[in-house]
Amino acid sequence: MSDRTPTTRDEFVAGARSMVPFLLSAFPLGVIGGTLGLAAGLSYLETFGLAMVVNSGTAQFIGFKLISEGAAWPVIVLTTLILSLRMLIYSTLLAPHVRELPQRWRLLLGFGLIDAVFFVAFDRIKGDEPARRKSMFYFGASAVMYVNWAIATVVGMIAGHLLPERLRSGLDFPMTAVFLVVLASALVGWKVWTAAVSAGALALLLLGLPYNLGLIVAAFGGHGRRSNSPPDTPTNAPRVAGTPRPRL
């Protein structure tokens, strides 16, 4: 076996190969995304452009859903930003390991940051190898996922154009399903449950506001309710004698 030090090209190819399982699972979602863009009333160019600029399946699906409902652009932008806040956590974890890179490289790293790429490439990024070389693994992973999503979006747009209108009208269900999955995965504590229930109640009460502005009010209301909630207490944490056990 050769002890040759991997080149930047080797790292790029290795990063791309590491994403093969994710390519297979992401492609159908990209196809759905391309179809949903047309179902939401967007043109081919608008659907493809939004997919390429956003580079986030979750944000793209929810964006299409809000567009189809006639939401105002501030509502759409704010909602997609809220759904993408986890990327700030990923960026914070990556930042100490890529400080040596030029700013243009770090900007590209940030643009290519998605869940799958982070979880696959983070162990390599935090290694002791030179930053420029190990970042190529990340670039390979993000580049192949980006191209895969672009191709899937085009396939979805073609498929959406060929589908009968009665089938296209029911394609908003996957967007609702994706939103429910994102919400369910975030419900990991009492404070989050409190925020979700409060925001949901506010959204229902403000359903009549134009341009879905009730969503913004509900989001801020839920955040405020979470900030004022007592901290989560682990179920196995010691309890002070005489204090009531919290009821969930």
Residue 64 lies in a domain: yes
Q: Where are the alpha helices (DSSP H) in 69-130?
A: 73-83, 86-94, 103-111, 115-125
Are 43 and 159 in a shared domain? Answer: yes
Are 159 and 196 in a shared domain? Answer: no
Are 125 and 13 in a shared domain? Answer: yes
Round to whole Å and give the CA distance between 90 and 190: 24
Per-residue pLDDT of the chain (248 residues; tens, 9 = 90+): 456 677 888 899 999 999 998 898 889 889 988 988 888 889 999 999 999 999 988 888 888 888 888 888 888 888 888 778 778 888 888 888 888 889 999 999 999 999 889 888 888 888 888 888 889 999 999 999 999 999 999 999 998 777 655 555 555 565 556 556 656 665 666 666 777 787 778 778 877 766 556 666 766 666 666 555 555 444 444 444 444 444 43
Q: Is 55 left (phi over 0), alpha (psi -120 to 50) or beta?
A: left
Are 120 and 200 in a shared domain? Answer: no
Question: Would you give the DSSP letter of residue 210?
Answer: G
Are 34 and 149 in a shared domain? Answer: yes
Are 16 and 134 in a shared domain? Answer: yes
CA distances from 199 to 56, 84, 203, 207, 227 (A): 23, 18, 6, 12, 13
Are 145 and 193 in a shared domain? Answer: no
Place of tokens 């991997």: 6
Question: Would you give the DSSP letter of residue 43?
Answer: -
Question: Which of 140, 168, 196 delimits the end of a domain?
Answer: 168
Instruction: Locate 31 and state its tokens.
Output: 């196809």
Question: Would you give the DSSP letter of residue 246?
Answer: P
Are 142 and 199 in a shared domain? Answer: no
Residue 146 lies in a domain: yes
Question: Would you give the DSSP letter of residue 237?
Answer: S
Nearest to 146 by CA among 176, 116, 167, 175: 116
Residue 116 lies in a domain: yes
At 119, the amino acid letter reads F
Helix (H) or strand (E) holding 95: none
Are 149 and 205 in a shared domain? Answer: no
Residue 244 lies in a domain: no
| Residue 209: predicted pLDDT | 67
Are 200 and 157 in a shared domain? Answer: no
How many domains is the chain built from? 2
Residue 152 lies in a domain: yes
Asked if 213 and 206 count as a contact pair (C-beta separation under 8 A), the reply is yes
CA distances from 173 to 32, 62, 179, 247 (A): 11, 11, 10, 35
| Domain extent at residue 222 | 187-227
Round to whole Å and give the CA distance between 20 and 146: 13
Residue 79 lies in a domain: no
Helix (H) or strand (E) holding 163: none
Are 211 and 89 in a shared domain? Answer: no
Round to whole Å and give the CA distance between 219 and 236: 31
| Residue 180: predicted pLDDT | 66
Residue 175 lies in a domain: no
| Residue 139: predicted pLDDT | 94
Q: Is 239 left (phi over 0), alpha (psi -120 to 50) or beta?
A: beta
Are 159 and 208 in a shared domain? Answer: no
